[in-house]
Amino acid sequence: MNVKHYLPLLDWLPGYGRSQAVSDLVAAVIVTVMLIPQSLAYALLAGLPAQVGLYASILPLAVYAVFGTSRTLSVGPVAVASLMTAAALAPLADAGTVEYLVGAVVLASLSGLMLMAMGLLRLGFLANFLSHPVISAFITASGIVIAASQLKHILGVEASGHNLLEILNSLADSIGQTNVATAAVGVGALAFLLVARKRLNPLLRAAGLTSRLADILTKTAPILAVLVTTLLAWQLNLGAQGVKLVGQVPAGLPSLALPSLDWGLWQQLAVSALLISVVGFVESVSVGQTLAAKRRQRIDPDQELIGLGAANVSAGLSGGMPVTGGFSRSVVNFDAGAETPAAGAFTAVGIALATLYLTPAIAYLPQATLAATIMVAVATLIDLPALARTWRYSRPDFG
């Protein structure tokens, strides 16, 4: 067995220089700032405690740096996988219970084992046979459902539902109970993030910043929304006014433990794990290939299966949730100048430090801010014009 084939780290580590280390370290700082609110938000989206998102952004990032072939792909919780996790676990247990958390850990472990098995069997080529219209439509629909599911947090109302129609009906029934303070925080954060996405970049360039720096600062705007609303919640005691806060997040690194070996639970989650694995792999490979092509690099789909699989297994061992390569964080990592997978390892260290020392401040973070962050992030997933493009290209594909 050629160990070097399964450990891409060995290819670039011998030539790792000071300039690369500086570039990777700068990129890691920027991505860490972006990842903290995203990780918290996606954990809550999946119905899990906020710290689970942080746990899923530590060891998996470091493990992918060893086994993955993309130099700039950033692995962690993502919107679509979080939604699929919530859908898979909802029939088994109530969100927030120990059983629910155990199920998430099993789901990550099972998905990881499936991905690694597919990689060892050299099944990476199957990604070429997956229908692009189907994947595009699935991700678009998921983005719409995710955005709709966050409106209850923006408005501060109780609403539920497993599909778009149920969610909208539930929101319509409870709209009269909107919490004014929550809506002010949620709508304000949402408006700021939308304006920042469209207007901040040209404003920064007009102020004299380089295009690259302006792009990076624009993409890290969510952390400013987090800081401002957290300070407001603390100073104005918004929790007493009905604004739901993230609450106390346990400080400290995750402990390593084997997932539950309940065979019945593994059987129940097998199909969901397979779906999460396939969708996650396609998303990761698409992002990885796009970024690699910009630098005339290549990725190995078979090794990517092993890398993503190992990352998910490590997420299961460290009390995390299913992970995959994220589009927004990978683009930020690329734009920030990351040159090797070491940037991911440095980011893991940054998230670990945040988990150790910054969790007391996270307690005052309004859930409405995280909901706004999710809604703006998933907006990039929604591609309704693809329907028209597919119709012009192929009627069967459109169907």
Specify if 3 maps to a domain. Answer: no
Token output for 383: 């591609």
Specify if 11 maps to a domain. Answer: no
User: 130 and 274 in contact (C-beta within 8 Å)?
Assistant: no
Long-range contacts of 172-177 (CB under 8 A, 24+ apart): none
User: 233 and 365 in contact (C-beta within 8 Å)?
Assistant: yes
Nearest Cα to Cα of residue 103 among 246, 267, 254 = 267
d(CA 278, CA 146): 19
Specify if 240 maps to a domain. Answer: yes
Q: What is the pLDDT along the chain (399 residues), one digit of tens a residue?
A: 456 567 776 666 666 777 788 888 888 888 888 888 889 989 988 999 999 999 999 999 999 999 999 988 999 999 889 989 999 999 999 998 999 999 999 999 999 999 999 999 998 887 777 777 877 788 888 889 888 989 999 999 988 877 889 899 999 999 999 999 999 999 999 999 999 988 888 988 888 888 877 877 787 788 889 999 999 999 999 999 999 998 888 888 999 999 999 999 999 999 999 999 998 998 888 888 888 888 888 889 999 999 999 999 999 999 999 999 988 788 888 887 888 888 999 999 999 999 999 888 888 999 999 999 888 888 877 888 888 888 888 888 888
User: What's the alpha-carbon Rg for the chain, to the nearest Å?
Assistant: 20
Confidence at residue 336, expressed as pLDDT on a 0 to 100 scale? 77
Q: Which distant-in-sequence residues (6+ apart) come within 8 Å of 203 by Cβ?
A: none
Specify if 344 maps to a domain. Answer: yes
Confidence at residue 5, expressed as pLDDT on a 0 to 100 scale? 62
Q: How many domains does the chain have?
A: 1
Specify if 224 maps to a domain. Answer: yes
Specify if 8 maps to a domain. Answer: no
Q: Quickly count helices (H) and strands (E) in the chain.
A: 22, 2
Specify if 26 maps to a domain. Answer: yes
Amino acid at 396: P
Please give the full DSSP string across 17-63, using - where no structure is assigned.
Answer: -HHHHHHHHHHHHHHHHHHHHHHHHHHHHTTS-HHHHHHTTTHHHHH
Confidence at residue 260, expressed as pLDDT on a 0 to 100 scale? 92
d(CA 250, CA 76): 20
Specify if 289 maps to a domain. Answer: yes
Domain coverage including residue 93: 16-398
Token output for 114: 């499936």
Token output for 73: 């792909």
Chain Cα centroid distance, residue 335: 18
Distance (Å) of CA 235 to CA 156, 189, 229:
20, 17, 10
**Structure pTM?**
0.86
